[in-house]
A and B are shown apart, each in its own frame.
Chain A
């Protein structure tokens, strides 16, 4: 948190909060210990606000708290009002039509009294279209996959529905997927229909990553992080006394 930023205040469920300008409503609620259910939110990724589960009420309106930065004081937010409850139940119904067997969804659905609507369940492929995979890929430095198509036909894929050439095999997408839907293998490294070589640390033999992945990160040494650190401190130790600057 940047403490030079101005503060904003307001209330959530009647409790007062004070956070830095621009803090999301979801984070503000967290500081008060108020839990808001989320699916597409991932603390390490930019918010996308696409699953709509984290809806919160303010002045008769609903907003996605994970993607709402608080920029003004005086807001009154309700996270468990009847309106919120109803909206989340509806969202869960829609999500269930996509992922009827998702444990987390089923648990939430029970809590909110939501049921899958058989009229909507024509393609229950288990994917929430939360785009965490797409955002993780981008955050890691590639843009190998995207949500392709629109409406009910929308799905995560590589260009031309082919194994994506921009993929470096880092598995960031698979690891960020809340449903564990992206088929992949650690060793041998396979994902999105592609297989990758693996770099082994020349000192300890541990798997460091794929050559493409290391290249993307600008890492030229093929040592694993531990051995690299050891080598570095060794080099420091061997430096002549005179090369240390003291002041």
Chain B
């Protein structure tokens, strides 16, 4: 009954499990380390695989519902793989007033996908944030954490 595909997905699951086992080993197995463990997993996989969350629930003795609720609360954690490079446009008040909406429209139409989505090859993702604390540079965007200020739609396209 084992098709090649399900064998592969089983292998993928096993490899996730052993990796998570390793990550869990680096922290005390206590419920209060839940968030830190989730961050470790997010960093390793760029998302939180379901098998990983179930393992965390079991090993830290935190209910699956609680693990899922915590995982779903933070923007830095995600249930589907985040892109390799992340372009984040600030949508805070200052950036909004200085035309962040225009930047977003331009980026979306050039890239062919919307805020919150990624390119089909998973290389680039588009997100927004509510104020980066760099309002003097508005409108602002970051690429993998590096800040780019005083953007125009043209300059924003250069960030791609």
Find out whether the CB atom of B68 lies under 8 angstroms from the CB atom of A146. yes
The interface residues of chain A lying within 8 Å CB-to-CB of B73 are 149-150
A158, B65: Cα distance in complex, Å: 6
Q: Pick the contact of A164 from B50, B53, B64, B67 — CB < 8 Å?
A: B64
Specify which of A150, A160, A164, A166 lies most central, judged by the most chain B CB atoms within 10 Å of its CB: A160
The interface residues of chain B lying within 8 Å CB-to-CB of A142 are 63
A30 to chain B, nearest CB (A): 32
Bits for A145-171, please: 1 = Cβ < 8 Å to B, else 0. Answer: 111111000000011100011100000
Bits for B64-99, please: 1 = Cβ < 8 Å to A, else 0. Answer: 111111001100000000000000000000000000
Size range of the chain B interface in the assembly = 10 to 19
The interface residues of chain A lying within 8 Å CB-to-CB of B65 are 143-146, 148, 158-159, 164, 166
28 sampled A-B residue pairs with Cβ under 8 A: A142-B63, A143-B63, A143-B65, A144-B63, A144-B65, A146-B63, A146-B69, A147-B69, A148-B65, A148-B68, A149-B72, A150-B72, A150-B73, A158-B64, A158-B65, A159-B53, A159-B57, A159-B64, A159-B65, A159-B67, A159-B68, A160-B50, A160-B53, A160-B64, A160-B68, A164-B64, A164-B65, A166-B65
The interface residues of chain B lying within 8 Å CB-to-CB of A143 are 63, 65-66
Find out whether the CB atom of A146 lies under 8 angstroms from the CB atom of B66. yes
A98, B157: Cα distance in complex, Å: 40
Query: B19-53: which residues lie under 8 A (CB-CB) from chain A?
Result: 50, 53
Specify which of A143, A147, A150 lies most central, judged by the most chain B CB atoms within 10 Å of its CB: A143
Find out whether the CB atom of B72 lies under 8 angstroms from the CB atom of A148. yes
The 3 closest A-B pairs by CB, nearest first: A143-B63, A159-B68, A146-B69
Q: Chain B interface (Cβ within 8 Å of chain A)?
A: 50, 53, 57, 63-69, 72-73
> Known pairs A146-B68, A147-B69. 9 more at Cβ < 8 A?
A144-B63, A144-B65, A148-B69, A149-B72, A150-B72, A160-B53, A160-B68, A164-B64, A164-B65
A159, B63: Cα distance in complex, Å: 9
A160 to chain B, nearest CB (A): 6
A53, B142: Cα distance in complex, Å: 41
Minimal Cβ-Cβ distance residue in B for A161:
B68
The interface residues of chain B lying within 8 Å CB-to-CB of A158 are 64-65
Find out whether the CB atom of B64 lies under 8 angstroms from the CB atom of A166. yes
The interface residues of chain B lying within 8 Å CB-to-CB of A159 are 53, 57, 64-65, 67-68
A166, B141: Cα distance in complex, Å: 43
The interface residues of chain A lying within 8 Å CB-to-CB of B63 are 142-144, 146, 166
The interface residues of chain A lying within 8 Å CB-to-CB of B67 are 159
B116 to chain A, nearest CB (A): 12
Minimal Cβ-Cβ distance residue in A for B70:
A146
Q: Pick the contact of B64 from A147, A150, A165 — CB < 8 Å?
A: A165
A142, B66: Cα distance in complex, Å: 11
The interface residues of chain B lying within 8 Å CB-to-CB of A166 are 63-65
A146, B65: Cα distance in complex, Å: 6
Minimal Cβ-Cβ distance residue in B for A142:
B63
A183 to chain B, nearest CB (A): 18
Bits for A109-149, please: 1 = Cβ < 8 Å to B, else 0. Answer: 00000000000000000000000000000000011111111
